[in-house]
Structures are given as structure tokens and as C-alpha cells.
Amino acid sequence: MNPKKNKGFRKDYEKRIRLSQHEIGEALREQLEMLGRSCEGFDRGDLFEAKRIAVSLRILWYNTERSSGLASQLNLANYVIDTAFVVPSTFVNSASPEPPSDERRLFAIGGSRAYAPIFDHGPAGVFKSPFTRWWEGTVISDGEGNKFTRKDLVLAVADTDGGAHVDPRLDSAYYALTRKETFGIIRVVQTDDPKVFRKVSTPSPVGVTLRQIGHETLKSLCPGYIYDGSCFYHGGAVCWIQAVITPSAEPNSLTQ
């Protein structure tokens, strides 16, 4: 940064008028109103609202050395509503069980829109987590071993991928998750031949994850918040599918 510009910035900053707690509270109310509208718009099918959700979440929760999110300014960032659930291993070998999974997620898979937010209906229910654990806890793991936190996703979308700014370079793991289908879910549809299926593109799970983070945020910061948009996500959706592999009691025989 140009030293002269930096000096001018500090001088201007010293002239700024500090907002009252009432004014900051009004700013919080406005952000929550905008967040709520964006979440409802996403539920109705406007998927671009995920980017506006990310911007609101950044304003509310992101703290830096120079500034604090609105929730922190009002001392509301101590405990946050958490709905993330642990995803068990997909395959379990009954002879040698795998160690417990640590993968966490905020959405169900399936339905007419590929993914659905879980609202308050996830396997783990609704509980409270310390803010740092909530903000920096993993909520997506892709097929390449990359893990993403709420903070990762909010900042990637808001700061680099069209929320408040479009950066000419994106983080490689985030790029793959949103453009290369590295989450690992494969979707197929039936063709004219009932025995033949074809693979179709699978959307990124980032948007629906941001939508669920928006739900957690509104439940945390809006007393009495009860909105549930489940009715907009048609078709069956599941949080996970698990298969148990049981070795055969009889040894396999090969015919030559």
C-alpha cells in the first residue's frame, strides 16, 4: 500500500463518527432482513441468491484484526445454532469395521434439486456450538480429500466468486468443488432404453450449504425464528446411504 495513501486512510479513520449500539442494532436488523429474503428466494428457486447470502454472512460473522462482524460488535457471537451432522462411512465391512467418520454436512442428497437444506430436521437435530468451532468446523468434504469450513465457503463466495467481488483467480480446491464436480455424487437418468442410463451434471453443493448456514444464522440471531422452506424441495432426499459388506462364509471357488 502506498505510504501516503495509508497515512491518509488513518487520518480519515480518526475523523469517523462511532455508531451507537442502537444504530449497530438497526444495521443488524437490516442485514438479517436481507438474509431472510435471500434465503426465501433461494428456496423458491433463485439460486443466485446464494451469493447474496454469502455477503450477508460475511458481514455478520467475519472478524479481522481491524474490524468485527456485526454479531461480534453486539456480543452475539458466543454460541451459534448448529445443525451439522456426521456422515457415516458409505460402506461398512462387518469383518473389519472402519473407524468412525468425521465428515460433517448440512444438507440432504436427492429430490428434484439434487440437494436440500435440512433446516431443523437433520440427524443431529439442533444444538448450540461455540462460535469458533461452528465457524471453522468442516461442513463439506470432497472426493479428493479437501475439507471446507463455513468460513471457507462464505469468504470464497463473498470475496472472490461473485458475492461482493469477482477475483480472476480462485482457490483450486474451491474451483474444483464448484466447477469440476469433485463432491463425488454421480447422478444418472433413464434414456429411451429402460436398461440404459446416462450421467447428468451434478450441481455444486456450495449454494445449498450457504442456504443452511443462513438458516442457522437466522435461528441464532432472530428470537422466535420458525421459517421452514422444506415445502420448496420436492422429492425424496436422504442424508446418507450406508451398505454393510458381509464376507461369505464359504470360500470362493474358481472354475477353470
Q: Output the nine-digit C-alpha cell for 110.
A: 436427492
The per-residue pLDDT string of the chain (256 residues; one tens digit each, 9 = 90 and over) reads 555 556 555 667 678 899 999 999 999 999 999 999 999 999 999 999 999 999 999 999 999 998 999 999 999 999 999 999 998 876 666 566 666 677 899 999 988 889 999 999 999 999 999 999 999 999 999 989 999 999 999 999 999 999 999 999 999 999 999 999 999 776 656 677 777 666 667 889 999 999 999 999 999 999 999 999 999 999 988 987 766 666 665 555 444 3
Between CA 202 and CA 189 the distance in angstroms is: 12
Q: Are 118 and 106 in contact (CB under 8 A)?
A: yes
| DSSP H or E stretch at residue 118 | none
- The DSSP call for residue 36 is H
Q: Are 140 and 109 in contact (CB under 8 A)?
A: no
Q: Are 58 and 108 in contact (CB under 8 A)?
A: no
- The DSSP call for residue 196 is -
Q: Output the nine-digit C-alpha cell for 114.
A: 439434487
Phi first, then psi: what are they for 131, rounded to 5°?
Answer: -55, -50
